[in-house]
Each structure stands twice: as structure tokens, then as C-alpha cells.
Chains A and B, each alone.
Chain A
Amino acid sequence: QVQLQESGPGLVKPSGTLSLTCAVSGGSISSSNWWSWIRQPPGKGLEWIGEIYHSGSTNYNPSLKSRVTISVDKSKNQFSLKLSSVTAADTAVYYCARNWPVTMSFDIWGQGTMVTVSS
């Protein structure tokens, strides 16, 4: 049973860089799946940030592309998110999720981690 667990600082200063990691357990990050980051501002809906394949190939949301970097560490079975130049608008619960091939849906999610951007 694959499980995902996000980790990282819960508070980031404005103009700083948000950094989160998603640890994959119960399965290999090198399986035939893409892996995504999705966020949800308080009281609002879901926004897809980007995805990565174990080869290192990435796709990003065009609205965030200039500020986002997603990377993979196969040796640690994890993938990471960096979001630069953050503002209060980036305050959200950040989820990592597994993309389910063929269906292009998200079948496994982490529990989510709240990140607040504030000085």
C-alpha cells in the first residue's frame, strides 16, 4: 500500500522560497507513475502545481511555472517542491499525490502540510 508523507517548514517569509518534500513508502518512486504537488488555500479549491516522473521529466502549471521547481531523489524514494518569491497568496495546504496512469487522476494523496507565508 503506497503512502505519501509531506514534510517541510510550516512558516516561510515573504519573498523567500518554500521547500517541501514528499516521502513515498510502500512502493517505488520509479514505478510507472507521475508524482504531483497540489495546493489548497484556506477555504478555497484545489490547484495543481506540477508533476515529475522518476526520470526527472517535469510539467508545471503555466501560472506558476516561473517560480516552481520539482525534483526527484530516487535513492531516498522522495520528490520535492521549491516555490520561490512567495507571497501571502501562496499560503495553503500543500499535498503531494500520485498520478494514476491512463486515467490522469490522483489516486493516492498525502495528508497535506500547511504552509503559511508571513513575516
Chain B
Amino acid sequence: EIVLTQSPGTLSLSPGERATLSCRASQSVSSSYLAWYQQKPGQAPRLLIYGASSRATGIPDRFSGSGSGTDFTLTISRLEPEDFAVYYCQQYGSSHPYTFGQGTKLEIK
């Protein structure tokens, strides 16, 4: 099973600042199969990034993804008030199909 470890657990920033969220895998993950989600309280997760760096439909360009192998990053260039939420990374692998990271909570400082 590939374990995804996200850091930090909580990130406190102000609107307008840049956010950098990390997702580290216990073994190499295909970049094609690494995704990021945003979840707000009481809502289902929303797909932000797929294939490590491609934005899903309707996702603003302040969201970007990068990385390869075992290290992946989600960057939000300038935080808007609506961006404060919990973010999850997710990978697909053949042996244990889908796993998620434990999440990073992005909170207003």
C-alpha cells in the first residue's frame, strides 16, 4: 500500500499570501495518477488538480500542482477567503487502488 503523508497538518496564512502544501508518497507514484481535492465543512471533496499538474474544469489558475516520483506540491498563489479549507492528495496504484493523504487544514491567520 502506498501511504501519502501531507504536511503541514495545519497551515495558518492570511488572504493574499501564498500557500504551499506538500504530499509525500511512501513509494513512487505515477504523476498521471496524483490528484488534489479541496473540502469545505459539510461538503463533499472537490477535484482541483489531476495528473499532478492539470487543473480540473472551473478551477482558478491561482491553484497549481507540481511534482513527481514521491514528492508533490499544491500551490495557491494568492489566497482568497474561499480557499480556506482542508486539502487532500490522492493516488492510484495497481496493488491498492486508491489512497488519500490525511489532509492539510488551511486556516485563516
Contacts and interface: CB of A to CB of B under 8 A. Distances in A.
B35 interface: yes
B35 A109 contact: no
Interface in B45-68: 45-47, 50-51, 54, 56
A73 interface: no
Contacts of B98: 36, 48, 61, 104
A18 B7 CA distance: 34
Contact of A45 (B1, B43, B92, B101): B101
Contacts of B54: 103
A26 interface: no
Contact of A51 (B32, B47, B88, B97): B97
B90 interface: yes
Which among A51, A100, A102, A104 has the highest number of chain B CB atoms within 10 Å?
A104
A73 B35 CA distance: 29
A111 B47 CA distance: 14
Nearest to A50: B97
Interface string A35-58: 010000000011110010000000
Contact of B45 (A51, A62, A106): A106
Interface in B8-36: 32-33, 35
B100 interface: yes
B100 A107 contact: no
A110 interface: yes
Interface of B: 1, 32-33, 35, 37, 43-47, 50-51, 54, 56, 88, 90, 92, 96-103
Interface of A: 36, 45-48, 51, 59, 61-62, 95, 100, 102-107, 109-112
Given A103-B50, A104-B33, A105-B90, 11 more contacts: A45-B102, A47-B100, A103-B32, A103-B51, A104-B92, A105-B47, A105-B50, A105-B92, A106-B47, A109-B45, A110-B44
